[in-house]
């Protein structure tokens, strides 16, 4: 079965960028989705204090500390007006990625169908393959605002589907969901008995003052699914591996049950720091979003000045750029690496509907992004 796991497409990209750096080139790496700023001090300090507390040197409770689940519930009520029962509607996860893979093992048997966005985050495929389930791709196109069109899903696939992954703000397209789309999602999921797993990894990152919607704000959402929220991006905590799932109590119970057999929850000090992040001051989040927005404006504004017709993302820290005539996503990414020493992710790595685009991460400073624009200008592609 391990042989059938999808190839980690982006490992090759990381390798090529490393080679170019090792050869002495000044490479601007905009290919990955790793936040470039450190975790805010007050969160690091909470970890340091908690690490010194012998209570955290013991096994934590199997399903995580109650104080963290209560902090999650408080966070959802404060941010989204969504009320959660901490012990029944919250599961603590070792990062969002783990939860996304686990939930498929919980809900699908071999041969069952899962609906996945295309382009989409490749870890959805990994979980589906591990469960020996079948994947039905939902195209995300510019014409539909990069939202799936439920009317165009094959009726046999809709009838067979048991699970659907969604992700807004979206990686890789930067699209955000609307209330109407989430209402249609609940309706479609109810009609076909599908569990919706909304990957809310970029929850905090919405532009022009708009806070991205939680799926759980939609009436009926809790009956039809869960949302997975990671602290990786909101609080620059990607290395800490802490996230949580919230929503439908029966799905939450399944996740907890599976995890009872795999882990004894996260290091207590990480749980303490996560609770501090969720309940403490949120100015660090606002600063983070403002920083990404300034970078977005520099990149998009700069590229438009070159004559490249690009859309600004509504959320996430990615820009999804159509490749110029005559290139594939791979050949264009190769050109940028070879000629401008700028690394971008070819859209094909996110699925067949990613062809024709490259993804650029806003995970470098304004200066570096401006420098990337300057180098791209030097290629004279858009004159």
Cα–Cα distance list, 170 to 146, 176, 177 (Å): 8, 6, 8
Alpha-carbon span 56 to 307, nearest angstrom? 56
Q: Which helix (H) or strand (E) covers residue 322, if one does?
A: strand 318-322
Q: What are phi and psi of 345, to 5 degrees?
A: -95, 125
**Which tokens go with 103?**
């939930």
37 part of the interface to ligand PLP, by CB under 6 A:
no
CB of 99 to ligand PLP, least distance (A): 8
With a CB cutoff of 8 Å and minimum separation 6, the contacts of 362 are 30, 292, 295, 296, 299, 317, 318, 319, 369
Q: Which is nearer to ligand PLP, 79 or 123 (CB)?
A: 123
Three-state SS for 20? helix
CB of 45 to ligand PLP, least distance (A): 22
With a CB cutoff of 8 Å and minimum separation 6, the contacts of 183 are 218, 219
362 part of the interface to ligand PLP, by CB under 6 A:
no
Q: Which is nearer to ligand PLP, 302 or 349 (CB)?
A: 349
Q: Which string of x and - marks every residue 239-268 that binds ligand PLP (by CB under 6 A)? A: ----x-------------------------
Q: Restricting to residues 224-243, name those near ligand PLP by CB under 6 A.
A: 230, 232, 238, 243
Q: Restricting to residues 82-101, name those near ligand PLP by CB under 6 A.
A: 95-97
201 part of the interface to ligand PLP, by CB under 6 A:
yes
Q: Which string of x and - marks every residue 14-33 that binds ligand PLP (by CB under 6 A)? A: -------------------x
Binding-site member from 56, 171, 173, 214 for ligand PLP (CB under 6 A): 171
Q: What are phi and psi of 127, to 5 degrees?
A: -60, -40
288 part of the interface to ligand PLP, by CB under 6 A:
no
Binding-site member from 102, 199, 227, 293 for ligand PLP (CB under 6 A): 199
**Before 224, cis peptide (omega within 30)?**
no
- Where does this chain bind ligand PLP (CB under 6 A)? 33, 95-97, 121, 167, 171, 199, 201, 230, 232, 238, 243
């Amino acid at each position: 079965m391990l042989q059938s796991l999808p190839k980690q497409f982006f490992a090759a990209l990381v390798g090529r960028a490393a080679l170019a750096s090792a050869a002495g080139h000044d490479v601007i790496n905009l290919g990955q989705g790793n936040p470039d700023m450190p975790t805010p001090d007050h969160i690091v300090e909470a970890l340091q204090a908690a690490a010194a507390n012998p209570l955290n040197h013991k096994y934590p409770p199997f399903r995580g500390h109650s104080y963290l689940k209560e902090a999650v519930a408080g966070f959802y009520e404060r941010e989204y007006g969504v009320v959660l029962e901490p012990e029944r509607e919250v599961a603590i996860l070792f990062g969002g990625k783990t939860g996304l893979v686990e939930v498929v093992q919980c809900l699908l048997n071999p041969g069952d169908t899962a609906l996945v966005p295309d382009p989409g985050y490749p870890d959805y495929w990994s979980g589906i393959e591990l469960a020996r389930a079948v994947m039905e791709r939902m195209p995300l196109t510019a014409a539909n605002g990069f939202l799936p069109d439920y009317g165009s899903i094959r009726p046999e696939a809709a009838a067979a589907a048991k699970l659907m992954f969604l992700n807004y703000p979206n990686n890789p397209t930067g699209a955000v969901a609307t209330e109407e789309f989430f209402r249609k999602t609940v309706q479609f999921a109810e009609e076909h008995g599908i569990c919706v797993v909304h990957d809310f990894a970029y929850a905090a990152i919405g532009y022009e003052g708009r806070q991205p919607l939680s799926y759980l704000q939609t009436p009926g959402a809790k009956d039809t699914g869960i949302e997975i929220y990671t602290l990786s991006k909101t609080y620059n905590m990607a290395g800490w591996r802490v996230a949580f799932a919230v929503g439908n109590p029966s799905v939450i119970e399944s996740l907890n049950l599976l995890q009872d057999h795999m882990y004894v929850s996260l290091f207590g000090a990480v749980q303490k720091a996560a609770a501090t992040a969720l309940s403490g001051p949120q100015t660090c989040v606002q600063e983070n979003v403002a920083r990404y927005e300034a970078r977005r404006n520099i990149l998009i504004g700069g590229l438009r000045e070159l004559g490249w017709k690009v859309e600004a993302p509504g959320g996430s820290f990615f820009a999804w750029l159509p490749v110029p005539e005559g290139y594939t996503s791979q050949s264009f990414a190769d050109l940028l690496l070879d000629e401008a020493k700028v690394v971008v992710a070819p859209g094909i790595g996110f699925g067949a509907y990613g062809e024709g685009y490259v993804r650029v991460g806003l995970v470098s400073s304004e200066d570096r992004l401006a420098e990337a624009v300057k180098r791209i200008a030097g290629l004279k592609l858009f004159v």
